[in-house]
Amino acid sequence: GDKAFAQFLTDEIKEEKKIQKHKSLPKVSGGWELEVHGTEAKLVRKIAGEKITVTFNINNSIPPSADEETQEEQKPDEQEPDLTSTPNFVVEVIKDDTKQTLVLDCHYPEDEVGHEGEEESDIFTIREVSFQPTGEADWKDTNYTLNTDSLDWALYDHLMDFLADRGVDNTFADELIELSTALEHQEYIKFLEDLKSFVKCQ
């Protein structure tokens, strides 16, 4: 059984490498520096008096596949739709002269398709906003967290503008999907290779 498994993995790795779009990770425009630790990635950008970090984890970032019918209509020539990684991401804005960090928890809504009516629909939304003490590893549950579900729209729009002014806008969100998808695929191939070595090990 293990031999057949290892053979299957070898073929699978070949296939995955064939469809791998990026041999190296795509860059995010706007002067972001990328750090990757396993499945967690962090993008850092410094602008006048502020440091902005965006953190995301590729684990569980591929949404369960939508209705298969719609995908078949789109691409009759391909068997499988392209898997896209849309991770939740956390934006931290740290001002040099305060001890607080503004933390915005963002995610990609699953129903991105249903917005034809709106001209400019944002491809990501802010879910929660809170202040956390700068430099502390563990965030406190005792800090007030603003949930945007019941938020005044004007305030929400200002928060979105606040992020856009710091380079976190739709273009960034698109590039983050691209980066995350490439990273996820790279980790998947690495996982298959590790699994193969593990299965072959007597």
CATH of the domain spanning 1-60+83-111+119-191: 3.10.280.10
Domains in the chain: boundaries: 1-60+83-111+119-191
In the block, residue with structure tokens 């425009």: 29
Q: Which two tokens stand for residue 101?
A: 């960090």
pTM of the shown model:
0.84
Q: Is 49 left (phi over 0), alpha (psi -120 to 50) or beta?
A: left
Please report, in tens digits, the pLDDT of each residue of the chain (202 residues total): 889 999 999 999 999 999 888 788 899 999 999 999 999 999 999 998 999 999 999 999 988 765 444 434 444 444 455 789 999 999 999 998 888 899 999 999 976 544 444 445 889 999 999 998 887 667 677 788 999 998 899 999 999 999 999 999 999 999 999 999 999 999 999 999 999 999 987 6
Q: Give CA separation, 46 vs 32, 51, 68, 73, 126, in Å.
A: 8, 4, 43, 44, 21
